Chains A and B, each alone.
Chain A
């Protein structure tokens, strides 16, 4: 599962991008440069995951955050993940399991080259923030076997009953206080300073406000953003290495202004081919995208005038649009609540409630699920989710299938056919509604 942002060395020729996208791309590229130059600069590297990403805490120890999921996404976008996945399968990894993992393992087997063409440094510590995806645990056991470095587990209990309890918070705070922080101190050689953490948390909340503002502009018609394909650019910095930094504050204020301007001008979202034409369909999308054919996939939507007004995938690194903000007055508790609240750590009924809310609140024509072959965290239960959201909203839902970064599971013709059928279904519903009126 999980998320991140297209950036770095994605082919850009003939691709139109807003200024914010260029800014994001430069931020991500700079981060990769910081990572790959770590052996020269002496910076220490902490590998961790996007959901449950404790960037504020990692930053308190002057550690650089490296996210294997984002690296797999970059490999997908650069069309090299296919060979990495096959390399991992060749050395014994099952064809059935997460392709992020196999892309990562295959990339290491092939020299561990970052998107900037330089070699990734070995991590100094693996921060196993185990939130909402079982695979994370196995993934870092695999990396630990390879790198033989300190591995810190932070276990986030699952919100099976649709809420978190004081017991869960206490458990997580104790883990942070008694195990995570002392181990990060030991690895980094930097003493923990809670005021430094508070400062970073304040910065996080500021950027989160602006991100939410941007995502909620999609309530307008036409929507000035695409909250799935475009949204993936927008979440990149905050879900990655920038939450809790001035860079993130600058980026999200810049983005907010840009989108507000687009809104004021009555413009729709930007696409790789410029502004989208007339908005014909408003969709809520559940599930991650396919990255090996990202632009082709996106084109199937904007060619039809379909804009995604809300998506669950842009919540895997944190759900902010229902009020949660990092709270500097409760530094460890707020980190616990953040981890507990990420999308895939929410029970299935909670996920259904969210999607139903999105369909209604964003006045969508329906729900589309992109089910990912190798991501059980997202995919198991999606067929029931589809029926429930359809039943509750009265809006049509549809189901397509692909994979994260394994190109073998992207069938363009199949997906296009299903999308076209879905749009016809939406039209029929509209016609029926007009007749009834």
Chain B
């Protein structure tokens, strides 16, 4: 009796996550804001912002990752040449079409020149919205990059305090850190469970759950993850004869959901990925005691994900995060899926491919846009990759 009920529960949870994913008016965030006078919403783009500070200011962090394949870009294309990726033009479209008219602030993290320049565009196009280019250190020494970053975090905290009209206290920060620690633990648990039994946790469902975390308050998102994990463990789903792959290059502009589904349908279980890295950027708990900004800075410097937007000071370490991800998850290959015209992902790719070759890990590569519609070539490529892994790995 329990299995069908819980199966229904995962379906209900995923249905809710899908509604959030498909809602380009961000109704959940609008409702949160409307529920109490004075509430504010701060949007942020990939790849990482310290959401703890936004939460501590009593605001809702709202992740904005473009418009996907359901948004018709009418105005946004007038702002970008054909050789620039799609996420900024659909983000501009979201802004100009009024879909972000409830957003009180926008953060543009350091990820690439396009998002960087978008920060200045936003200041001009939406002059009454607080907007900030959120820089992070590329120097990882505590006394150099660390001090710089602590001061940048303090500036952000002070900006948000002005926006809400009251200081953001250390206790508020500590409380937010604790909530996000819990959330990251749950995300890690979900990713760990998927790595063990990917047939139990389809990649598309993981993605939908993570996307919900960009819109919901962290407390609600953690509850959603807990419920999903509990429900998912009670049901045995059919296991396919798929290979196991790590998906990489997808850290900014998001692939269409159909692309993620297509990989698994083509025979590739996704056992790790770099989608929506903000949900697990910090790889271990941030200490709750002590100076909260210093703790966030230390976590960023020493316990954060490796990705193309970060400089790797040690040549021997370059790309090893990918090798470790493969070993940790028992993956048999890597799929590089990079957005067209994405400088960080595409410039990094050759180096990472060499590292994988040296480690004897097979890989394939293709490009996509958030509105790619034709999945057949990707299915064929991924299917051939899966077949080759099975054929040559002696499985």
A80 at the interface (CB under 8 A from B): no
Cβ-defined contact, B132 with A134, below 8 A: no
Give the distance to chain B from A271, nearest Cβ to Cβ, in Å. 29
- 18 CB contacts below 8 A, A to B, read A96-B341, A96-B342, A97-B343, A128-B311, A145-B315, A145-B318, A145-B354, A153-B311, A155-B137, A160-B133, A171-B144, A174-B143, A178-B141, A348-B117, A348-B119, A371-B81, A376-B117, A381-B120
Cβ-defined contact, B116 with A384, below 8 A: no
- Kindly state the separation between the CA atoms of A144 and B100 in the bound complex, as whole angstroms: 42
Cβ-defined contact, A98 with B343, below 8 A: yes
Cβ-defined contact, A142 with B347, below 8 A: yes
Q: Give every chain A residue within 8 A of B112 (Cβ-Cβ).
A: 134, 376
Cβ-defined contact, B137 with A134, below 8 A: no
- Kindly state the separation between the CA atoms of A128 and B145 in the bound complex, as whole angstroms: 16
Please, how many residues of chain B have a CB less than 8 angstroms from a CB on the other chain? 58
Q: B139 touches which one: A179, A374, A380 (CB < 8 A)? A: A179
Please, how many residues of chain A have a CB less than 8 angstroms from a CB on the other chain? 56
Cβ-defined contact, A161 with B312, below 8 A: no
Q: B347 touches which one: A97, A157, A171 (CB < 8 A)? A: A97
- Kindly state the separation between the CA atoms of A92 and B78 in the bound complex, as whole angstroms: 32
Task: Find residues 122-161 in chain B having any chain A CB closer than 8 Å to their own CB.
Answer: 123-125, 132-133, 135, 137-139, 141, 143-145, 147-148, 151-152, 155
Cβ-defined contact, A348 with B144, below 8 A: no
The residue in chain A whose Cβ has the minimal distance to the Cβ of B131 is: A160
- Kindly state the separation between the CA atoms of A91 and B350 in the bound complex, as whole angstroms: 9
Q: Give every chain A residue within 8 A of B138 (Cβ-Cβ).
A: 130, 137, 153, 155
Cβ-defined contact, B346 with A96, below 8 A: yes
B313 at the interface (CB under 8 A from A): yes
Q: A141 touches which one: B121, B132, B143, B312 (CB < 8 A)? A: B312
Q: Give every chain A residue within 8 A of B145 (Cβ-Cβ).
A: 155, 171
- Kindly state the separation between the CA atoms of A179 and B312 in the bound complex, as whole angstroms: 15
A379 at the interface (CB under 8 A from B): yes
Q: Evaluate whether A133 and B120 lie within 8 angstroms (CB atoms) in the complex, with A142-B350, A145-B351, A379-B81 already known.
A: no
Q: Give every chain A residue within 8 A of B135 (Cβ-Cβ).
A: 157-158, 160
B114 at the interface (CB under 8 A from A): yes
Cβ-defined contact, B84 with A141, below 8 A: no
Q: Give every chain B residue within 8 A of A142 (Cβ-Cβ).
A: 347, 350-351
A93 at the interface (CB under 8 A from B): yes
B349 at the interface (CB under 8 A from A): yes
Q: A380 touches which one: B84, B315, B350 (CB < 8 A)? A: B84
The residue in chain B whose Cβ has the minimal distance to the Cβ of A345 is: B116
- Kindly state the separation between the CA atoms of A168 and B137 in the bound complex, as whole angstroms: 10
Q: Give every chain B residue within 8 A of A117 (Cβ-Cβ).
A: none
Q: Give every chain A residue within 8 A of B349 (Cβ-Cβ).
A: 92, 94
Cβ-defined contact, A381 with B144, below 8 A: no
- Kindly state the separation between the CA atoms of A94 and B340 in the bound complex, as whole angstroms: 9
Q: B113 touches which one: A174, A376, A401 (CB < 8 A)? A: A376
Cβ-defined contact, A160 with B315, below 8 A: no
Cβ-defined contact, A94 with B346, below 8 A: yes
Cβ-defined contact, A179 with B120, below 8 A: no
Cβ-defined contact, A93 with B350, below 8 A: yes
Q: A92 touches which one: B79, B125, B353 (CB < 8 A)? A: B353
Q: B318 touches which one: A128, A141, A161, A382 (CB < 8 A)? A: A141
Contact flags A137-169 to B (C-beta < 8 A → 1, else 0): 111011011001001010101101100010110
Cβ-defined contact, A383 with B119, below 8 A: no
Cβ-defined contact, A158 with B110, below 8 A: yes
- Kindly state the separation between the CA atoms of A278 and B1 in the bound complex, as whole angstroms: 91
Known: A138-B347, A160-B108, A175-B139. 16 other contacts (CB 8 A): A96-B341, A96-B367, A135-B113, A138-B344, A138-B348, A141-B318, A141-B348, A167-B151, A168-B148, A178-B141, A347-B119, A376-B341, A377-B117, A379-B84, A383-B81, A388-B124
- Kindly state the separation between the CA atoms of A160 and B113 in the bound complex, as whole angstroms: 12
Q: Evaluate whether A139 and B347 lie within 8 angstroms (CB atoms) in the complex, with A148-B315, A158-B133 already known.
A: yes
Most chain B beta carbons < 10 A, residue from A134, A165, A167, A347: A134
Give the distance to chain B from A379, nearest Cβ to Cβ, in Å. 6
A373 at the interface (CB under 8 A from B): yes
Task: Find residues 383-414 in chain A having any chain B CB closer than 8 Å to their own CB.
Answer: 383-384, 388, 401
Cβ-defined contact, B81 with A401, below 8 A: yes
Cβ-defined contact, A179 with B114, below 8 A: no
Cβ-defined contact, B313 with A153, below 8 A: yes
Q: Give every chain A residue within 8 A of B116 (Cβ-Cβ).
A: 134, 158, 160
A349 at the interface (CB under 8 A from B): yes
Q: B78 touches which one: A138, A139, A383 (CB < 8 A)? A: A383
A125 at the interface (CB under 8 A from B): no
B308 at the interface (CB under 8 A from A): yes
- Kindly state the separation between the CA atoms of A179 and B144 in the bound complex, as whole angstroms: 9
B392 at the interface (CB under 8 A from A): no
Cβ-defined contact, B354 with A160, below 8 A: no
Cβ-defined contact, B119 with A160, below 8 A: yes
The residue in chain B whose Cβ has the minimal distance to the Cβ of A152 is: B313
- Kindly state the separation between the CA atoms of A80 and B132 in the bound complex, as whole angstroms: 42
Most chain B beta carbons < 10 A, residue from A137, A349, A379: A137
Cβ-defined contact, A376 with B79, below 8 A: no
Cβ-defined contact, A135 with B123, below 8 A: no
- Kindly state the separation between the CA atoms of A222 and B166 in the bound complex, as whole angstroms: 58
Q: A160 touches which one: B120, B137, B141 (CB < 8 A)? A: B120
- Kindly state the separation between the CA atoms of A167 and B146 in the bound complex, as whole angstroms: 11
The residue in chain B whose Cβ has the minimal distance to the Cβ of A137 is: B311
A170 at the interface (CB under 8 A from B): yes
Cβ-defined contact, A174 with B144, below 8 A: yes
- Kindly state the separation between the CA atoms of A349 and B78 in the bound complex, as whole angstroms: 18
Q: B124 touches which one: A144, A155, A349 (CB < 8 A)? A: A349
The residue in chain A whose Cβ has the minimal distance to the Cβ of B340 is: A96
A58 at the interface (CB under 8 A from B): no
B88 at the interface (CB under 8 A from A): yes
- Kindly state the separation between the CA atoms of A122 and B343 in the bound complex, as whole angstroms: 26
Give the distance to chain A from B250, nearest Cβ to Cβ, in Å. 15
Cβ-defined contact, B343 with A138, below 8 A: yes
Q: Give every chain A residue within 8 A of B344 (Cβ-Cβ).
A: 134, 138
Give the distance to chain B from A127, nearest Cβ to Cβ, in Å. 13
